[in-house]
A = this chain, B = another copy of it.
Amino acid sequence: MSDSLKAVIEALIYASPDPLTVKQIAKLLDGEPQDAIEAALAALKQDYERPGGLQLVEIAGGFRIVTRPELHEWVRKLFHEQTKQKLSVAALETLAVIAYKQPITAPEIAEIRGVNTAGVLGTLIERRLVKIVGRKPVVGRPFMYATTREFLDRFGLKDLNDLPKVEDMAEVLGFEAPSGLAEAGPAESALPFVDETVH
């Protein structure tokens, strides 16, 4: 029983969003005598004396399982790496704008998105989803961006004409296409959306 009691307490401490006090544990294991709980806790503490990545700490009168402080640099590195690697919402939106409106300049993207996109563009270029295809012959001669071959591969597209249109999606999935976007004026180009934002 002591072994399984210890296991239950370990699981509880591990999963709890807040440090668990002995009192709270006793309440969760209602009926379990206080001294049995304390004995199991003591044994658990001893277990966590072993070398390892995790430790059992007492914080604010409660218990918590966390990584050992000397390993915190690794944890930070992990978060840093993962943050770097991830395609954030901003990146995805920028990619979408480029995909549907290419070739397009950074100021034009910013105008559509309503925010500056300089950093995100760098990420997309680094990940080879987007490339520079020239300069636009306007004031400042800004770079024009377009999607890459790799972009097509990643999204399983044969070519850009394969990009889904809103009506496609609405039909396939039973979603409602937003009225402003669906009322098509496709005469202008192959673009899947009516362009109301940029002039």
Measured between C-beta atoms, what is the minimum distance from A111 to chain B in Å? 15
Complex interface bits, A130-143 against B, C-beta within 8 A gives 1, otherwise 0: 00111101000111
Among A24, A51, A133, A173, the most chain B Cβ lie within 10 Å of the Cβ of A173
A9 at interface (Cβ–Cβ under 8 A)?
yes
Q: A6 to B50, alpha carbons, bound, how many Å?
A: 12
Does A127 sit at the interface, judged by CB under 8 A?
Answer: no
Interface string of A160-199 (1 = CB under 8 A from B): 0010100010001111000000000000000000000000
A12 CB contact (under 8 Å) in B15, B28, B75, B142 = B75
**Quick one: closest B residue to A107, CB to CB?**
B172
**Residues on the B chain within 8 Å of A7, using CB:** 51-53, 68, 71
A64 to chain B, nearest CB (A): 12
| B-chain residues with CB within 8 Å of residue A4 when the two chains form the complex | 51
Please, how many angstroms separate the alpha-carbon atoms of A71 and B143 in the complex? 46
Q: How distant is the Cα of A8 from the Cα of B67 in the complex, in angstroms?
A: 9
| A82 interface residue (CB < 8 Å to B) | yes
**Are B121's CB and A173's CB within 8 A?**
yes
**What are 14 sample pairs from A and B whose C-beta atoms fall under 8 A apart?**
A7-B51, A7-B53, A11-B67, A11-B71, A11-B75, A12-B75, A28-B81, A121-B172, A121-B173, A132-B156, A134-B156, A134-B157, A143-B164, A144-B156
